[in-house]
Amino acid sequence: MKLQAGDALIIVDLQRDFCEGGALEIPDADATVPVINGLIAEADAAGVPIFASRDWHPPGHASFRESGGPWPAHCVQSGAGAEFHPDLRLPERVIIVSKGEAPERDQLSAFDATGLADRLRGLGVRRVVIVGLALDVCVLETALDAALEGFETHVWLAGARALTAEGARDAVKKMRKAKVVIEKD
């Protein structure tokens, strides 16, 4: 698959807290960086819009265990864990999409109350390629929402990792059922 006019690259939550040594480490997450950097270079050369979503939680967010949620505190606004992976080569023109800012609820999808669908349509995007973390949580929800919004949606598995192998299998099944194209190489 080659990125071209009418496409957009969406990088989901490639942040320090989801990578090696982070507060909510996803196994083998660091291995996605070279793959994603290759896609960024391809998108940049083709003039394709590049979006990077980030969890951007206020302290005490509802999703944190301390507040009764399922996750350890992670990606707290302006903290080191919320920074993008240090080896990720985002161009200056990248469009950052912050999610999870509402203190009382989680926002797993990069489309959830962020205006992303309208921004993509405004740029004439018809097809999205999604990579990032975690395949079985935020990548899954972003892909499902992209498909619901009417975009031809592709998830590049080499550029994504899941919390668990079982979660990865379930996510792929759910995405295929929603007509998301799963790219394996």
How do the domains of the chain map onto residue ranges?
A: 7-183
pLDDT digits (tens, 9 = 90+) for 3-49: 999 999 999 999 999 999 999 999 999 999 999 999 999 999 999 99
Q: What is the mean pLDDT of the chain?
A: 97
pLDDT for 97: 98
pLDDT for 7: 98
Which is the catalytic residue, given 7, 13, 55, 112?
Answer: 13
pLDDT for 158: 97
Residues recorded for the chain: 185
Q: Is 138 a catalytic residue?
A: yes
Pick from 118, 164, 121, 120: which is nearest to 140 by CA?
A: 164
Residue 141, Cβ neighbours under 10 Å: how many? 21
pLDDT for 176: 98
Q: Is 30 a catalytic residue?
A: no
pLDDT for 117: 98
pLDDT digits (tens, 9 = 90+) for 65-82: 999 999 999 999 999 999
pLDDT for 35: 97
Q: Is 13 a catalytic residue?
A: yes
By percentage, how much of the chain surpasses pLDDT 90?
A: 98
Using 50, 70 and 90 to split pLDDT, how confident is the model at 184? Answer: confident
- CB contact at 8 A, 39 and 88: no
State the amino acid at position 113 in one-letter form: A
Q: Is residue 99 pLDDT above 90, yes or no?
A: yes
Which is the catalytic residue, given 17, 99, 136, 145?
Answer: 99
Determine the average pLDDT of the residues in 137-146.
98
Which is the catalytic residue, given 55, 136, 138, 145?
Answer: 138
At the fourth CATH level, the homologous superfamily of domain 7-183 is Isochorismatase-like (3.40.50.850)
Pick from 21, 9, 8: which is nearest to 132 by CA?
A: 9
pLDDT digits (tens, 9 = 90+) for 101-114: 999 999 999 999 99
Q: Is residue 1 pLDDT above 80, yes or no?
A: no
Q: What is the DSSP string of 130-165?
A: EEEE-IIIIIHHHHHHHHHTT-EEEEEEEEEE-SSH
Pick from 94, 116, 113, 115: which is nearest to 105 by CA?
A: 113
